[in-house]
Structure 1
């Protein structure tokens, strides 16, 4: 048997949950699904941006610093603003004395180069003539005690100079190749830089149109999510309400079942009571007749052993008096027609309706979603005019025309630079190779000479090794004299060009003196008015424009545009989003179909609550059902009479006793046993109903209160969930538009309508010219000059060392030449002082 005692706490918990749920309605909560996805937009404006150039640190950095330090000592004068102004405006008025005064350091270097060019080849020519007449150079005439020390010192100094030459020529090879590798890409990058800058202003409207076109990305995302908004909101409502609805429906189903059980018990009590009351009087008459008959038989003097049966017969009368139980008519009258509703079907229908809530929500908000889609599909006026609002500019035409002319006019010069650079590269390799040959000759000469000297200890030696070593050294001397002129000429030309680029251009460019010079009125001719060509605003200098562009300033803040341009005006879509919010707030869901308790069921519960079933006097029923229907055990009395009938000597008396036993048996079967069965039924129903009626009445009352509360609370809570979900959905969709606005704002101000490519192009140009080209160019002539000037001590020590490698010859007569009168002096093992 099911007892509904657990329904009361459950109903209480439901009421508490709903009360807590109402408290949550004051705040908005969006779960993980309320977070917007990250939209991917196509980057724009980078097509005309140049990758920033930078010279990576390398092993040649100390050499570059050394060269720059040397050039700073050569050119101590500051930037010649006045001289360059005169040269640009009136070239004929440039005075040679001013140029010489500014280039004093280079003039000194030119004098040194001229002296080198005059003296070294002249000395070489004289030396060749002298050697041709065999009057200089030659050999050691006689051994002396300090010859070994002198020879060792000469060889050591020559070896050190040769190693320094080797180091210099290796650096010359590296820097010569590095210069060639950097000049080619640097020259080829110039047209690309100029072509990229041509679109700095003119390409802006097209790129702004492309930015406006990408508004379709958040649009499509919102339209896609609008397709499932109804199902999502319905599912959320279903998910958040099912914790309340499902338990309530389950409790209603159990309550209906328990109420039906209680009604069944009530009707059984009523029917059993009516039956017992109807059968009580006939049974009492029959028992009275049987009692009198038995008493007369058992009190007969001939009846043997009838005392016990006589005592039992005296108890043959009714035990319970069912006429004393209370009437149920008033309760039954109030419960007439109950149950009117089918609680099982009602719960099944409510459950089905609740489970179809996502579909119903989708259908109910379909019209509003359609209107939202129409609204979202429209492009805001502000975004559509994003490119149209950018003003046309005469400065853009001047800018594009000037850069196009510069590109066309620079191409012949760039081709010439590449051609002459190839000649310089070949000449550099040839001359560096000559120095390398000198180094090789020195090393071979030293090796063979040292081998020849050590072989003099052997009496069977020849002088070929020492002579070969001397010849190698003299070959190196000859190469040094022959190529000293081309060396110094190449060095001075590259030095003059590279040094002036470093000191006149790169140094002032890095210190921004060039920008200040261009900003000073009158320094540039009218045809080279950079502010006019670049279309800068009148109150902005070139240096200020460069600094602002480097910081990412917008074009309209630097250039003269025909009108103002404010991207924020074109990226303000508040009106557009306000209309979306207004339409989104029109979403409504009708929860009237979800009626947990229909009218019939409500009437049943009201009737049950007002029936007074808990007020029935159940103790009166229990007091009677606890009594036996007959005070004596009829079946036991029947058996006892049957035994007495068999034990009597008087056959007539025994037969009468048996007949009375048979009559009592029949009476038991026909009247007493049915009443006992009804008493058992009455007892079970009374006990069950008395145990459950009070608690069931409390559950019914609480259920009526809770269902009445839910009848208004569920629509309110569903409405709050709808508002919360629609607000979360709206915030998510607005975040897509916010992502677009942030991206568009950044794209317009930092990538499209920005003059930062201009400052980047200037920085790249400086890095390419000064760091990537001028540094290895200057390092090349520096290394070549290093080697060239080291050739002088190399020549001196090579000539002096040569004497010690040749055989020692002795003059035989005063009239004979030392070269023709040969006499080999044997080795000297020791010298006596």
Structure 2
């Protein structure tokens, strides 16, 4: 019992602050409808291709051709005062391209002139034609020429295929790439124009946390009441149970005391009545047993002489004083008192609903006001007044770009047709080489005599000469197309793409004075005065909002507009100021307390219950009446004297009657007395402590219950407030993220710039440069191809003269006919 009291005291003294808020359930995470910008600028990326090694090789080649950095001074002069541009500056920067132009010009002039000279020489039969003599080394030379021509043909074929593929890829990428420019500009304008609608859609999503909070408000009061009841019920129920036990002790103790007093009185009176009867019975039995006629009666004479009374309850302590003190108790109805206390405590949840109804209604009204405050995010959003500069600049760029793009598309069509035609000619030259080598080699294998004419060998030689003729005829067109595309594509790569990747172009644009006033992008796009294109690009790339990069007359700080206290201050204050009393429970009224105090000082614990127990150990009669009666009955059977035998039977019957009528009744009273003594003796040592503990516990619970209930109320309201503030924080965080990352993000501007680089450099310039590089490889390998084809042609035609000797074959100026031996 003492341990239970200590446990209850610990429960009472435990601070409510140690209680923790309930963990957030999955439902506490709000789910917002996806609200994205209706107009998007999809990000483009470089697509891995099997031609990437070729693209990389071309870029390294162009880096060798053009090693100069971005010509800042030259570009500044060209943009601000084109007439001041000096030729020497252009030559110095384009020196690598000029050298390539000189090589191309030399090739353009030299190869056709060489072709004309070769044609003239062939017409005079001074070059080409047939070999004049057969030597042993001709087979080795022929094989070397075949291998060299095969290698050059394979290189030309591979380069031609690459040229065809890249030429087609340029065409495939050019049309969507050019179309993406106005589409992207138009998309940017639409994105900016749709920002207000997007912001309003984001603000309208406040309905999600508002409905969730209103739903939580509907159940918060009962939840608070149930939490108070759940956390305090152990303490309250323990106090009520303890009080019920003390009331039971009072009732039971009073009952047993009354039984004790009454039983002692009855036993005392019964002893007084039994004493003369027992003395008279003893005298008769002793006289009978002492009669000489009684046979064998001396054996039980001693037992009969000791027949006398035992326990004397007149000697036990009196409990009349205790009963007098407890007279009239209990004056209060403990059962009704406990029922009322239990009912009052169990009504706390309903009481909480009633007491919190007013503040719940005020919080609902506050949610309506909060919706109006959140609407101010959309109403105060500054973009519509400051984005018209950007929209105007984008519209102007869109209108100016379309004619230029149409011209580029038209010239690209011509380039593609010329590229396909020249690639077809190169494939035709390669086909002539392959057919010529195949026919010539086959003809040589079928010819027995080198001087014999073989039509297939001659046809192979002619195919080779057709390829040579086509090479001489179209080489100048090939080199012109190569140089034109090389000059355009190379400068795009080295002047634009290379400096676009390392952002040197942005630095050039940002440097004051580099661009003319009409091309001031900071002013045209209405960017911040302390900003530039590089800074704006980086900010937009990292997810800044449009309002953060524009030149606003008044600073607009979204973070200030999205601070939770700005919207939740009143909501939080109303909950913080709310207070009420929910734990006023009366467990023990004053009359009940007086009853228990009277019970404690009544002296129940001062009675010597040990004296009762000692007296109860003494039997009512010292000698067992049933035993003595059975002994007399046994002696009766042994008597020869009928008179003695009859008297023995009579005395035995009298003893049985005394036992059954008087002694057994007293023994039953002694048993009943023992039950009361046992209860009271067990209660007495702890009575003072139990009553004292019960009174102290009850008083402590009555005092602590309101305080504990108030602490739990504050804690539950605090947990509820934090939970609802998390809803606000989730929403405002989502608003900031959505506005910055999607609806009002300036990231599409950075994405558009990146897309422009991907389209121009990765998807158009790379295959464009790979095209002229592959076509140039074909063109320059035509020179060794022509040489090897001309040299190989002689080996496919019959040799003019042949000399046979026993030692070796030598060249002779005349032909010795073949002699055939005849058999006789």
Range class of TM-score, shorter chain = 0.7 to 0.9
Structure 1 pair 15–289 and aligned structure 2 pair: CA distance change class (3 A):
same
Q: Which residue of structure 1 aligns with residue 4 of structure 2?
A: 10
SS state at 1:145 partner: coil
Task: Provide the rounded CA distance (Å) in 1 between the counterparts of 2:606 and 2:241.
Answer: 28
Q: Which has the higher mean CA deviation after the structures are superposed, 787-796 or 605-614?
A: 605-614
Q: Which residue of structure 2 aligns with residue 187 of structure 1?
A: 178
Structure 1 pair 643–500 and aligned structure 2 pair: CA distance change class (3 A):
closer
Task: Provide the rounded CA distance (Å) in 2 between the counterparts of 1:170 and 1:355.
Answer: 91
Deviation, 1:407, is 1.4
Q: Which has the higher mean CA deviation after the structures are superposed, 780-789 or 711-720?
A: 711-720
Is the 1:320–1:630 Cα contact (8 Å) retained in structure 2?
Answer: yes
Q: Which residue of structure 1 aligns with residue 661 of structure 2?
A: 670
Deviation, 1:687, is 3.0
Deviation, 1:490, is 2.1
Q: Which residue of structure 2 aligns with residue 591 of structure 1?
A: 583
Structure 1 pair 410–498 and aligned structure 2 pair: CA distance change class (3 A):
same
Task: Provide the rounded CA distance (Å) in 2 between the counterparts of 1:669 and 1:46.
Answer: 108
SS state at 2:377 partner: coil
Task: Provide the rounded CA distance (Å) in 2 between the counterparts of 1:340 and 1:459.
Answer: 150
Task: Provide the rounded CA distance (Å) in 1 between the counterparts of 2:698 and 2:364.
Answer: 39
SS state at 2:370 partner: coil
Q: Which residue of structure 1 aligns with residue 767 of structure 2?
A: 776
SS state at 1:187 partner: helix
Q: Which has the higher mean CA deviation after the structures are superposed, 354-363 or 402-411?
A: 354-363
Task: Provide the rounded CA distance (Å) in 2 between the counterparts of 1:148 and 1:550.
Answer: 68
Is the 1:393–1:561 Cα contact (8 Å) retained in structure 2?
Answer: no
Report whether the alignment pairs 1:197 with 2:197. no
Q: How does 1:572-651 map to 2 (within 5 A)?
A: 572-574=563-565, 576-585=567-576, 586-588=578-580, 590-593=582-585, 595=586, 602=593, 605-644=596-635, 651=642
Task: Provide the rounded CA distance (Å) in 2 between the counterparts of 1:692 and 1:714.
Answer: 30
Deviation, 1:791, is 0.9
CA offsets 1:743-787 (integer angstroms, 9 cap, x no match): 333444555555443333223322321232112211211110111
Report whether the alignment pairs 1:759 with 2:750. yes
Task: Provide the rounded CA distance (Å) in 1 between the counterparts of 2:716 and 2:90.
Answer: 81
Q: Which residue of structure 1 aligns with residue 785 of structure 2?
A: 794
Is the 1:36–1:735 Cα contact (8 Å) retained in structure 2?
Answer: no
Q: How does 1:223-234 map to 2 (within 5 A)?
A: 223-234=214-225
Is the 1:531–1:541 Cα contact (8 Å) retained in structure 2?
Answer: yes
SS state at 1:316 partner: coil
Q: Which has the higher mean CA deviation after the structures are superposed, 451-460 or 677-686?
A: 451-460
Q: Which residue of structure 2 aligns with residue 488 of structure 1?
A: 479
Q: How does 1:296-335 map to 2 (within 5 A)?
A: 296-300=287-291, 302-335=293-326
SS state at 1:365 partner: helix
Structure 1 pair 608–422 and aligned structure 2 pair: CA distance change class (3 A):
farther
Task: Provide the rounded CA distance (Å) in 1 between the counterparts of 2:545 and 2:802.
Answer: 92
Report whether the alignment pairs 1:497 with 2:463. no
Structure 1 pair 141–246 and aligned structure 2 pair: CA distance change class (3 A):
farther
Task: Provide the rounded CA distance (Å) in 2 between the counterparts of 1:399 and 1:447.
Answer: 67
Q: Which residue of structure 2 aligns with residue 707 of structure 1?
A: 698
CA offsets 1:291-336 (integer angstroms, 9 cap, x no match): 3444444445555544345433433332111111111122223333
Report whether the alignment pairs 1:165 with 2:156. yes
Task: Provide the rounded CA distance (Å) in 1 between the counterparts of 2:500 and 2:506.
Answer: 8
Q: Which residue of structure 2 aligns with residue 717 of structure 1?
A: 708
Q: Which residue of structure 1 aligns with residue 806 of structure 2?
A: none
Q: Which has the higher mean CA deviation after the structures are superposed, 715-724 or 774-783?
A: 715-724
Report whether the alignment pairs 1:155 with 2:146. yes
Task: Provide the rounded CA distance (Å) in 1 between the counterparts of 2:449 and 2:344.
Answer: 123
Question: TM-score scaled to structure 1, two decimals?
Answer: 0.86
Is the 1:11–1:699 Cα contact (8 Å) retained in structure 2?
Answer: no
Structure 1 pair 33–112 and aligned structure 2 pair: CA distance change class (3 A):
closer
Q: Which residue of structure 1 aligns with residue 270 of structure 2?
A: 279
CA offsets 1:445-500 (integer angstroms, 9 cap, x no match): 32333333334459999834423332332232233233324322322322222223
Structure 1 pair 525–12 and aligned structure 2 pair: CA distance change class (3 A):
closer
Unaligned runs of 5+ in 1: 1-6, 813-821, 828-833
Q: How does 1:454-533 map to 2 (within 5 A)?
A: 454-456=445-447, 463-519=454-510, 523-533=514-524
Deviation, 1:208, is 3.4
Is the 2:260–2:676 Cα contact (8 Å) retained in structure 1?
Answer: yes
Q: Which residue of structure 1 aligns with residue 811 of structure 2?
A: none
CA offsets 1:7-62 (integer angstroms, 9 cap, x no match): 3432332223433x23xx34462242489833344566655553444425555444
Structure 1 pair 825–718 and aligned structure 2 pair: CA distance change class (3 A):
farther
CA offsets 1:124-164 (integer angstroms, 9 cap, x no match): 35545655676642222220132223222222221221222
Q: Which residue of structure 2 aligns with residue 241 of structure 1?
A: 232
Is the 2:37–2:194 Cα contact (8 Å) retained in structure 1?
Answer: no
1:146 aligns with one of 132, 137, 141: 137
Is the 1:382–1:572 Cα contact (8 Å) retained in structure 2?
Answer: no
Is the 1:446–1:469 Cα contact (8 Å) retained in structure 2?
Answer: yes
Is the 1:392–1:562 Cα contact (8 Å) retained in structure 2?
Answer: no
Equivalences, count: 809
Task: Provide the rounded CA distance (Å) in 1 between the counterparts of 2:640 and 2:758.
Answer: 150
Structure 1 pair 71–12 and aligned structure 2 pair: CA distance change class (3 A):
closer
Task: Provide the rounded CA distance (Å) in 2 between the counterparts of 1:394 and 1:313.
Answer: 131
Structure 1 pair 315–496 and aligned structure 2 pair: CA distance change class (3 A):
same
Structure 1 pair 808–417 and aligned structure 2 pair: CA distance change class (3 A):
same
SS state at 1:387 partner: helix
1:803 aligns with one of 791, 794, 800: 794
Is the 2:373–2:567 Cα contact (8 Å) retained in structure 1?
Answer: no
Deviation, 1:803, is 1.0
Task: Provide the rounded CA distance (Å) in 2 between the counterparts of 1:758 and 1:448.
Answer: 63
Structure 1 pair 825–639 and aligned structure 2 pair: CA distance change class (3 A):
farther
CA offsets 1:382-434 (integer angstroms, 9 cap, x no match): 53222333346765223212211221332333344334334433332332232
Task: Provide the rounded CA distance (Å) in 2 between the counterparts of 1:724 and 1:177.
Answer: 73
Is the 1:35–1:732 Cα contact (8 Å) retained in structure 2?
Answer: no
Task: Provide the rounded CA distance (Å) in 1 between the counterparts of 2:361 and 2:400.
Answer: 61
Structure 1 pair 35–62 and aligned structure 2 pair: CA distance change class (3 A):
closer
Q: Which residue of structure 1 aligns with residue 365 of structure 2?
A: 374
Structure 1 pair 497–644 and aligned structure 2 pair: CA distance change class (3 A):
closer
SS state at 1:632 partner: coil
Deviation, 1:512, is 4.3
Structure 1 pair 273–422 and aligned structure 2 pair: CA distance change class (3 A):
farther
2:725 aligns with one of 727, 730, 734: 734
Q: Which has the higher mean CA deviation after the structures are superposed, 196-205 or 660-669?
A: 196-205
Structure 1 pair 291–237 and aligned structure 2 pair: CA distance change class (3 A):
same
Is the 2:224–2:349 Cα contact (8 Å) retained in structure 1?
Answer: yes
Report whether the alignment pairs 1:559 with 2:550. yes
1:744 aligns with one of 710, 729, 735: 735
Task: Provide the rounded CA distance (Å) in 1 between the counterparts of 2:322 and 2:78.
Answer: 125
